[in-house]
Amino acid sequence: MVKIKSLKYSELEAFVLELGEKKFRAKQIFEWMHKGVRSFDEMKNISKDLKEKLSEKADLEALELETVQVSKKDGTRKYLFRLSDGEFVESVLMEYSYGNTVCISTQAGCRMGCAFCASCEGGLIRNLTTGEILDQVLAVSKDIGEKVDNVVVMGVGEPFDNYDNLTGFIDNINDKNGFNMGMRSITVSTCGLVPEIKRFAKEYPQVTLAISLHAPNNELRNRLMPVNRKYELKTLLAACREYVKTTNKRITFEYILIEGVNDTAKQAKELADILKGLLCHINLIPFNGVIGKEFVATKREKAEDFKETLKELGFEATVRRELGSDIDGACGQLRSKRR
């Protein structure tokens, strides 16, 4: 069975021709898929004969909505989706003044092993297909009855560990025949896979890149993020400087603040030192407690002090607004509970 939602538009055209149909049918099918239909029968302007061919030859890859949690504090919506093989992934809808933003997953599980993250529990089960990544956005959009304005690829999994399906998703959601989301409305976050950072800079220079940093030195980052043992900070930051030079875009560095681990004034200065001269924004993220992890969130006042230290040293920094704190906000928690 062809995973039809994973096909790029040109590939869908070729598939339609193989079915003995006119090429224009591809546009109709593509448009329907990007409206979030869950079956070929919902595609109103294609023939019964074509629907039968599609049912025999193609899999629409529609995710099953298992659970939705809605924050009473800020309206954040957290979705748990069941995949066709019984695995689960999470997505989160966040409402901002600049529009609806959906955070999506790229893998069922993760093999990066970050010490503070719930997504890594159980390791990597499998990569999501292009269609499964895309369907999270389509399902959320359909659920709220509104268009999604921005996508953040920052959910369960390491996006660059599933590079081809990630970029297939970007191509499809950007396609003018479908959802037509601008490249600048997409942000991809990585824990620091250097070869893919370099490749992404050349292939998708308009997409925003975020780096999960979380430590200002190799000793601490090795403890928090095993990926640093392969791509230590000097190597990672060299790739980041190369990225900025190639794309002329600033990088967002994500830094989860953990009480007594990485949140001192000294560590703020150390962070400023390693990022000196690099076009960037530092996004300070209050740690969202994870069951079974020993870490505790830095208090808001101390987080603001950390931010002010960075600003005094010439860096743009913000403390991210806490969203969904009354639901399973940390990535991977809802999935972990369900599994």
Calpha distance 233→222 (Å, rounded):
10
Q: State whether residue 176 is helix, strand or coil.
A: coil
Give the helix/strand (H/E) hosting 201: helix 194-203
HSE value, Cβ hemisphere, 13 Å, CA-based, for 19? 25
| Residue 131, phi then psi, degrees to nearest 5 | -65, -40
Q: What is the DSSP letter of 62?
A: P
CB 272 within 8 A of CB 253: no
Calpha distance 264→40 (Å, rounded):
56
Calpha distance 62→41 (Å, rounded):
13
Structure tokens at 199: 């490749």
Structure tokens at 68: 């939705």
CB 320 within 8 A of CB 283: yes
Calpha distance 30→60 (Å, rounded):
11
CA distances from 329 to 167, 296, 318 (A): 26, 15, 19
What is the chain's percent helix, strand, coil content, to nearest 5? 40, 20, 40
Buried b or exposed e, range 129-161, using 16+ CB within 10 angstroms: bbbbbbbbbbbbbbeeeeebebbbbbbbbbbbb
| Active-site residue list | 90, 331
Calpha distance 188→79 (Å, rounded):
19
Nearest to 243 by CA among 283, 272, 210: 210
Domain ranges of the chain: 2-59, 64-338
State the pLDDT at residue 283.
97
CB 111 within 8 A of CB 120: yes
Its CATH class, for the domain covering 64-338, is alpha beta
Calpha distance 141→100 (Å, rounded):
9
State the pLDDT at residue 331.
56
State the pLDDT at residue 294.
80
Q: State whether residue 293 is helix, strand or coil.
A: coil
Each of the 339 residues of the chain gets a pLDDT tens digit; together they read 999 999 999 999 999 999 999 999 999 999 999 999 999 999 999 999 999 999 999 999 999 999 999 988 888 999 999 999 999 999 999 988 888 999 999 999 999 999 998 888 889 999 999 999 999 999 999 999 999 999 999 999 999 999 999 999 999 999 999 999 999 999 999 999 999 999 999 999 999 999 999 999 999 999 999 999 999 999 999 999 999 999 999 999 999 999 999 999 999 999 999 999 999 999 999 887 665 568 899 999 999 999 999 999 999 999 987 665 566 555 555 655 555
What CATH code would you report for 2-59? 1.10.150.530
Query: Which residues sit opposite 102 in a β-bridge?
Result: 93, 151
Bridge-based pairing state of the strands 2-3 and 58-59: parallel
Q: State whether residue 23 is helix, strand or coil.
A: coil
State the pLDDT at residue 122.
85
